[in-house]
Amino acid sequence: MTPPVDPNNVLMTGENSFVRLSHDGGKTPSDRFSHWRVLWCPAGTGHALFAQGELTGGQVRIYGDNLAVTRWLQRTIEALLFPAFADASLPVVAAEFGRAGDPRSTVVETIASATDRMRLTWYDCIEPFVLTMPPGFNNRPLGVFSTFFPARGAEVELNGRFATGRPWPEMRGDRQGSSACLAWSETWVKPRA
């Protein structure tokens, strides 16, 4: 028997971990961070961080180490996920990216530019699961498959200031998730022409 192969074309593979914070259990988000580690896409490899909220004075800030990858993410995927992050007129601040830790304890992503230092931390992760959303699900033209490590706790620091909101629990199908997830082994696909 031939093993099944997903019928779609691969757009990107890598990671898209995120942190969304709130002061009222998710009714009103206070901060939103979308962290990308792109292992492969048509524009190359690289990292990007999209940020907006109390820590950024409500403004969108974008950091990246490969401008072509960041712009590709904006027009291809972030336009579907969060249109405010897809504004190509916004500058991309050059930054270096690093990671430490693992989901069994704590994971820290660091982003350092000439003027800013940001640290995103996920901890107290619960049981991981694989998110499966084929193209067409939720009326999205693209599909995504990703291993989610939902975190009960998350912290974001920008230049010594800390976001005061907290992540909240949210269901993904019948699995317990969180508004702060490590989303690893993530692959985005589009239907074959």
Q: Can you give the residue ranges of every domain in the chain? A: 9-190
So what's the pLDDT on residue 193? 83
List Cβ neighbours of 143 (8 Å cut-off, separation of 6 or more): 8, 133, 134, 135, 136, 137, 188, 189, 190
Q: What is the mean pLDDT of residues 104-112?
A: 98
Encoding tokens for residue 4? 């099944």
- Tell me: pLDDT of 81 over 90: yes
Using 50, 70 and 90 to split pLDDT, how confident is the model at 4? confident
Topology adopted by domain 9-190: AttH-like fold (2.40.370)
So what's the pLDDT on residue 159? 98
Between strands 93-101 and 61-64, the pairing is: parallel
Of the candidates 155, 162, 55, 35, which has an alpha carbon nearest to the alpha carbon of residue 106? 155
**Residue 36 identity (one-letter amino acid):** W
Question: Which H or E run contains 14?
Answer: strand 9-22
Encoding tokens for residue 18? 């995120």
Over pLDDT 70: what percentage of the chain? 100
Q: What is the mean pLDDT of residues 141-150?
A: 98
